[in-house]
Structure 1
Amino acid sequence: MQLYVIRRPSAWASLTELEKAGAKSAQIGNEEMSDRVRWIRSYVVNEPDGRIGTFCIYEAKDGAAIREHARRVGMPGEEFYPVATTVVVRPDPVPAEAV
């Protein structure tokens, strides 16, 4: 499988909507398309219009698998790019636990 970055701009009105979509995405990926799509992680961003967007990292068989997965979930899936290489300067920071 190839590694991809998927951009989903202004796709959700709230974090609650995003959480519901994430649960459905994981379920479909794990149970229905595990041989074609694998969700690795997502970076959630606040868009200028006040909505929520994401940059998602997926492994996928091909672009058609990304599109089909997005269609089944009901979220954007047309803006994606194959990853040429990965440069890690530092690992992702770990949020401090609330005391």
Structure 2
Amino acid sequence: MTGVAPASAHTVAVLLDDALVTLNRAFGVLRRRNVPIEGLALHPSGTAGEARLTFVLKADAVTTDRVAQQFQKMIGVRRVMVLANEDSPTEAKR
């Protein structure tokens, strides 16, 4: 038996600048991490110049936290939230 936690669905919401370069960096993070994505949505946030990227990862909690931390380091990212399995939002630490 291994000590690896089973993969489950984790929703991550990212508020970022509505600029092509920022979106390209965001998709690059997801591609490099090679984490299975179950769903992805990009839409305006309601604030001018800001977009919300929401995606569902099929991964363990550690991998999800690492992806969230990677997004938090990106230029153009304003806020990162990981929605826990019980749907209580937690903000990624800087």
Q: Which bracket does the TM-score occupy, shorter chain normalised?
A: 0.5 to 0.7
Aligned to 1:39: 37
Question: What is the CA–CA distance in structure 2 between the aligned matches of 1:68 and 1:79, rounded to whole Å?
Answer: 11
Runs of 4+ aligned structure 1 residues displaced above 2 Å come to 37-41, 72-79, 81-84
- Is the Cα contact below 8 Å between 1:26 and 1:39 reproduced in 2? no
Aligned pair in 2 of structure 1 residues 40, 26: CA closer, same or farther (>3 Å)? farther
Describe the superposition over 1:10-33 as per-residue Cα deviations: whole angstroms up to 9, x where unpaired: 322323311222113211x12xxx
Q: TM-score normalized by structure 1?
A: 0.59
Provide the C-alpha distance between the structure 2 equivalents of 1:43 and 1:70, rounded to a whole number of angstroms. 16
Q: Matched residue of 1:78: which SS?
A: strand
Give the aligned length: 75
> Counterpart amino acid of 1:81?
A
Q: Aligned Cα RMSD in Å?
A: 2.4
- Could you list the runs of 5+ residues in structure 2 that have no partner in the other structure? 1-6, 88-94
Decide whether aligned partners of structure 1 residues 24 and 12 sit closer, same or farther in structure 2, where only a CA change above 3 A counts.
same
Offset at residue 70 of structure 1 (A): 2.3
1:52 aligns with 2:32: no
State the identity %: 11
Consecutive unaligned residues of structure 1, counting only runs of 5 or more, are: 31-36, 85-99
Q: Which has the larger radius of gyration?
A: 1
